[in-house]
Structure 1
Amino acid sequence: MLTIENHKFEEQVSDITHMSCPKNTKKLNGGKPDCIVIHYTASPSAKQAAEYLRRNDVKASAHIVLGRKGHVYQLVPFDTVSWHAGASSLNGRSGFNDFSIGIEIDNAGVLNKVGEKYQAWFGKSIPENEVIKATHRNESNPRYWHAYTEAQIDKIFEICEALIKAYPSIKSIHGHEEISPGRKSDPGPAFPLDRLRDRFFSNRKSNTESLEINEHTGGRVNVSKLNVRSLPSYSASTVSAPLSFGTELKILDEHNGWLKVETRSEGWVAGEFVSLDKS
């Protein structure tokens, strides 16, 4: 469980790196955030994005940058304005920098298919098993997108839980694409934004809680890699190689948000990383 002290994640945690960003000194309205905004970096790596955003000559920053393996870089204290939203408005409010926490997730964003390769705007080729084809919430035609990792999605849920516990003033989570539509497309359709909101701000049940399982119950993996575990717990050992995005699953059982599935072998996967087939 992540803990926050003096508006920063605690220092002595192995998967958190604190970096100074002295250009950001203005306090949030009221000294505390009331919402979270999710972004993707569209850059080669989380560390490179964090180093860039903390530079004094760059007119952008963020509170957090999250790596592909779940490593967190904190640049700006959570009571301080970071420059992540730019021109932004939603539901009659504008200037989201002044009252929100900005989280940048290491992800290449939209991809172009060049021959048999999928390329990011900065030239990096993305493996096919990390690519999804999906339609953005603000668009009508599908495009190729970089998939997020299980470690990232697991960590973003943990981060948001810690933030909402530390700051009960937080009442909403938005994508940059929602507060700057037309100008921004992050975090994009590969990110489970609605599920993240549902976890903290909805009374609806999870997608597995009321699942009626029969011989036809199935689903598909919706992250780039998904571990299959011996028991319904993140601490349980893995029983096979990770499943890739789009892998079809036969669902055998459910327990506290975990699904027992059958593919090459039997094991348990976190239900939030499975899109259930419609019956």
Structure 2
Amino acid sequence: MQIINHLLYHDDGTPYPFEESPNSGGTLRHEYLVMHFTAGRTAKSAVRWLTQAKAKASAHLVIGRDGSITQLVPFNVKAWHAGRSSWEGRTGLNKYSIGIELVNAGRLKRQGGEWKSWFNQVYDDVDVLEATHKHESSSSGWHVYTEEQLEAAMDVASLLVDEYGLQDVIGHDDIAPQRKNDPGPAFPMDSFRARVMGREDLEEFYETTGRLNIRTGPGTQYEKLPESPLPAHTPVDILDTSNNWKLVTVLETINDNMDIEGWVHGRYLQRQS
């Protein structure tokens, strides 16, 4: 992956798809990278909408669920992704930031025993994280990002930081907290920022959001450990990931056992505050 004349290219010199958006203009001063979710179904629908004048919005890149990348605006031109916004003394972050849209349904609601998006698409439990947004006080469902999507975002974000000397990676919910909730709690902002900016990743610990079964393998078909269920707010350290299942070590003694390691579902974990 490389940047030539402010457009994204593969290492072999072939360009990434470019669908020009009319919703852009003016020279960009490169300071920040802002992450968004589309609150929509697919990359195709996001690109189609953001390349129409009536959208009055755009982004520099759209990253699909499969990790595919489409560019809409050259990296030296302002895209209309931030809206009314402010950050560290700057206002109108369109002038100072590159915007990346990740295809993701965003907040989901529990209706009739199912998780549904605002456009009434139903999502499996394994594709949902129950968590409280940092600007809110109650828990909601959030559509999880795919590994392919996060890997692609990490690669291109690292390239952009190196190419343009960006100062930080932030969310739309950071620069417009009264209006926006993207990229939301399902996006691993702390570790993403640390890796992209080349900083040492702060060690993060998690806790269970409620009573939670811990199993011998990554799935409900595996046996529960004798210590199941773990109590609510049990602190754990994540060792590995398999889809939405997490291999964890428990950081406190449960039933006189101080050496517990097993698999739990990731949507029932939250970062310790």
Provide TM-score, normalisation by structure 1: 0.73
Partner of 2:183: 187
User: Matches of 1:98 and 1:35 in 2, distance apart?
Assistant: 10
Aligned pair partner of 2:64 in 67, 73, 81 = 67
Aligned pair partner of 1:36 in 33, 38, 45 = 33
Aligned partners of 1:15 and 1:71 also within 8 Å: no
Aligned to 1:162, the other structure's residue is in SS state helix
Q: Structure 1 pair 10/159, CA: closer, same or farther in 2 (3 Å)?
A: same
Q: Give how far 1:220 is off.
A: 6.8
Aligned to 1:165, the other structure's residue is in SS state helix
Aligned partners of 1:16 and 1:71 also within 8 Å: no
Aligned pair partner of 2:238 in 216, 219, 243 = 219
Aligned partners of 1:78 and 1:101 also within 8 Å: yes
How big is each residue's C-alpha offset from its partner over 1:232-275, in whole Å with a ceiling of 9 and x where there is no partner? xxxxxxxxxxx332444469xxxxxxxxx986xxxxxxxxxxx8
Partner of 2:73: 76
Partner of 1:56: 53
Partner of 1:131: 128
Gaps of 5+ in 2: 205-235, 251-260, 264-268
Aligned partners of 1:16 and 1:73 also within 8 Å: yes
User: Matches of 2:43 and 2:64 in 1, distance apart?
Assistant: 5
User: Matches of 2:135 and 2:198 in 1, distance apart?
Assistant: 22
Q: Structure 1 pair 200/55, CA: closer, same or farther in 2 (3 Å)?
A: same
Partner of 2:173: 177
Partner of 2:142: 145
Equivalent residues in 2 for 1:15-26 (5 A)?
16-26=16-26
Aligned partners of 2:28 and 2:78 also within 8 Å: yes
Task: Supply the RMSD in Å over aligned alpha carbons.
Answer: 2.8
Q: Structure 1 pair 276/112, CA: closer, same or farther in 2 (3 Å)?
A: closer
Q: Structure 1 pair 220/109, CA: closer, same or farther in 2 (3 Å)?
A: farther
Aligned partners of 2:64 and 2:102 also within 8 Å: yes
User: Matches of 2:179 and 2:69 in 1, distance apart?
Assistant: 26
Q: Structure 1 pair 123/187, CA: closer, same or farther in 2 (3 Å)?
A: same
Q: Give how far 1:144 is off.
A: 0.7
User: Matches of 2:32 and 2:271 in 1, distance apart?
Assistant: 32
Q: Percent identity?
A: 35
Amino acid at match of 2:3: I
Equivalent residues in 2 for 1:148-159 (5 A)?
148-159=145-156
Q: Structure 1 pair 37/25, CA: closer, same or farther in 2 (3 Å)?
A: same
User: Matches of 2:171 and 2:46 in 1, distance apart?
Assistant: 18
| Match status 1:244 vs 2:243 | yes
Provide TM-score, normalisation by structure 2: 0.75
Aligned pair partner of 1:162 in 135, 159, 162 = 159
Partner of 2:94: 97
| Match status 1:7 vs 2:26 | no
Q: Structure 1 pair 244/78, CA: closer, same or farther in 2 (3 Å)?
A: same
Partner of 1:86: 83
Amino acid at match of 2:181: S
Partner of 1:199: 195
| Match status 1:114 vs 2:133 | no
User: Matches of 1:203 and 1:24 in 2, distance apart?
Assistant: 32
Partner of 2:27: 27
User: Matches of 2:201 and 2:82 in 1, distance apart?
Assistant: 31
Q: Which is greater in Rg?
A: 2
User: Matches of 1:198 and 1:185 in 2, distance apart?
Assistant: 21
Gaps of 5+ in 1: 209-216, 227-242, 252-260, 264-274
Partner of 1:254: none
Aligned partners of 1:218 and 1:277 also within 8 Å: no
Amino acid at match of 1:191: F
Aligned partners of 1:219 and 1:276 also within 8 Å: no
